[in-house]
Amino acid sequence: MELLAIHGGTPVRTNKIYYGRQCIEDDDVRAVAETLVGPYITCGPKVRELELKLAHFTGAKYAVVVSNGTAALHCACIAAGIGPGDEVITTPLTFAASANCALYCGAKPVFADVDPETYNIDPQSIRTRITERTKAIVAVDFTGQSVKNDEIRKICDDYGLVFIEDAAHAIGTTYKGKEVGSLADMTCFSFHPVKTITSGEGGAITTNDPDLYNKLVLAHTHGITHEEQEMEETEIEGPWYYEQISLGYNYRLTDFQAALLISQLNKLERFKQRRKEIVETYNEAFKDLDGIILQKEIAESDTCRHLYIIQLDLDKLTCTRREFFDAMSAENVQCQIHYIPVYWFPHYKRLGYTKGLCPIAENIYNGIMSIPLYPLLSDSDVEDVIHAVKKIATYYSKK
C-alpha cells in the first residue's frame, strides 16, 4: 500500500492541477484584440452576432446574451412575471443563484429533493412542492446532465407553470437528440471560466417565445427601448429619443467578451469530445473502486459534462470527506465541492429555512467531491488523478 503524501509519502504529481480551467488559444486572443481596436467595444455588432450564433446552435428562435449566468436567471424570472407572493421550485444542490433569482423578484424559493442516482431535481418531489402560489420551476442540469425535460414539461403544462432550465453547466448537452436551450420556456447559460466555453464572465437566455424574448431584451437593458412601436409618446422628437417602459437592469455583455465567446463556440464540439473522453476514462477506472459511488446518467441525455463528481461511500472508508479532500490536495490534485445545499446558508436560515428539507440532497452533499475535468488535461494528467483517487481510497478502505 502506498503511503499518502499527506503522511509523508511521495505525491503522485510534482505540480498542482485544479478541478477546472479555461482553454484560451491564440485565435481567441486575436478575436478579442481585433474587437478592442475596432470601433465598438460594447453595444456593438459582436453581441448581435453572438446571439444569432447561440440561437442557431441551440435550435432556439431567440437568444439574449447578458453579463453572467446569475443575470440570465434574474432576467428569466422577470420575463416570467415572477413577483411577491409567488413561489419558485428549484433544487438545493446547485449554486445559490438558482434560488436567489426568485428572491430578487420578491418570490419564495421552494426546494425539491433530488434523484439519488443522477443528483438532478426529482420530478416526483417537484409535484409534492406545488401550491396555488407556484409560478415557475427552475430545473438545474447539474454537472451538465439534462434534467428529465419531458416530465418537467408535463408538470408545467399540468399546472400552468413557467419552465426555466438552468443550463449553466450544460452547453453542448442534448436531450433526446435536441440541444439543451431549445426545450424549456427559457434556458439560462453561464460562460464563467470553468465552464465548457467562456467569455470571462457572461451568460445567455434562449427562448422560442417572442413575448418572453421582448421582455428579456428590456430586462437586461434598463427597461429602455428605441423601438417606436413600443413607445407611449406619439410624436417622436428625433433619432436620439428612447423611453424606459419597464424597470430593467444593466446586464449587457461587452463586444470583446462576445468576440471571445464566438471564437469559443467554434471549438465547443472539440471541447465536448475531450470532456467525454475523460469522463469515460474516469468511469472505467472507478466503476469497481470500493468506497466510491459514481453519478449515473439518464439514457435521454447525451451529456457534455461540466463537472465530474465522485461520491464517497463513507461507510466503507475510515476517513472523513475533509480528510480525503486534504489527501487529494497533498497529492497535488486540487478538488472542489459542488454544492453546499442552498438553504443551509445563513441568509436562508434567517428567512426561515432549516436543515432536513431535502434529505437525499443533503446526504449526497456529505460525500461528493469534484475532481479535475477540462480539455487541457493530458492523458498523463488524467492518469495522475485516477492514481490519486485510487491511492487514497485504498489507503482508507475498511477492507
Residues 219, 184 within the same domain: yes
CATH number at residue 322: 3.90.1150.10
Q: Among the three residues 265, 300, 333, which one is the final residue of a domain in this structure?
A: 265
Residues 281, 215 within the same domain: no
Residues 30, 47 within the same domain: yes
CATH number at residue 57: 3.40.640.10
pLDDT reported for residue 399: 86
Residues 124, 51 within the same domain: yes
Residues 132, 173 within the same domain: yes
Q: Among the three residues 233, 265, 297, which one is the final residue of a domain in this structure?
A: 265
Asked whether 161 and 155 are in contact (CB, 8 A), the reply is yes
Which one, of 57, 72, 20, 44, lies nearest residue 257 by Cα? 44
Phi, psi of 244 (to 5 degrees): -90, 115
pLDDT reported for residue 375: 98
> pLDDT below 70 — which residues of the chain?
none
**Residue numbers of the domain that contains 224:** 26-265
Cβ atoms within 10 Å of 234's Cβ, excluding its own: 6
Q: Strand (E) positions, 173-253?
A: 174-175, 178-179, 186-190, 203-207, 224-225, 243-244
Phi, psi of 29 (to 5 degrees): -65, -40
Residues 191, 240 within the same domain: yes
Residues 123, 249 within the same domain: yes
Q: Among the three residues 265, 285, 303, which one is the final residue of a domain in this structure?
A: 265
Instruction: Specify the residue for cell string 453546499.
Output: 340
pLDDT reported for residue 312: 98
Residues 144, 272 within the same domain: no
Residues 67, 191 within the same domain: yes
Write the pLDDT tens digit of every residue in 251-305: 999 999 999 999 999 999 999 999 999 999 999 999 999 999 999 999 999 999 9
Residues 121, 46 within the same domain: yes
Domain count, the chain: 2
Residues 222, 299 within the same domain: no
If you write DSSP's letter for every residue of 205-221 in order, what string do you get?
EEES-HHHHHHHHHHTB
pLDDT reported for residue 130: 98
Which one, of 379, 368, 315, lies nearest residue 114 by Cα? 368
Asked whether 159 and 130 are in contact (CB, 8 A), the reply is yes
Residues 52, 72 within the same domain: yes
Write the pLDDT tens digit of every residue in 177-186: 999 999 999 9
